[in-house]
Amino acid sequence: MRELTQPAAEEIKLAEIFHALADPVRLQIVAQLADKGRDSCSAVGESIDVHRTTMSHHYRVLRESGVTWTEVEGRTRFVSLRRDDLNERFPGLLDAVLAACTDRGSVTRLPLPQGVPVAGQ
């Protein structure tokens, strides 16, 4: 098995975090991890209606951006938020993102900015 790519805390970049958090599925993963803490990738993905290979892609983006940390134990991958590392580099960022998602009621239906055309309207 190849080694997982995970940046050191000092290598985490804000632009990569924003890219990782720009996708509603990845926001949903982050919100679930904030509630559960460390969990297996398969357990987190059970409630998200996305194909397994697509979920693997989302986990990779989150891991490589420094938002999550993945540990392999046997054949199972456990994922957790890198809350301490993120708070050290960008104080309050993760909490602000999670609060914004909660305030809107759902991370799967984030509102579009004003002026963005919506199909069918």
Q: What is the pLDDT of residues 17-74, one digit of tens each?
A: 999 999 999 999 999 999 989 999 888 888 888 888 899 999 999 999 999 999 999 9
Quote the mean pLDDT of the chain: 84
pTM: 0.81
Please report which confidence band the pLDDT of residue 3 belongs to, taking 50, 70 and 90 as the band edges.
confident
Calculate the alpha carbon distances from 58 to 20, 44, 70 in Å: 8, 12, 12
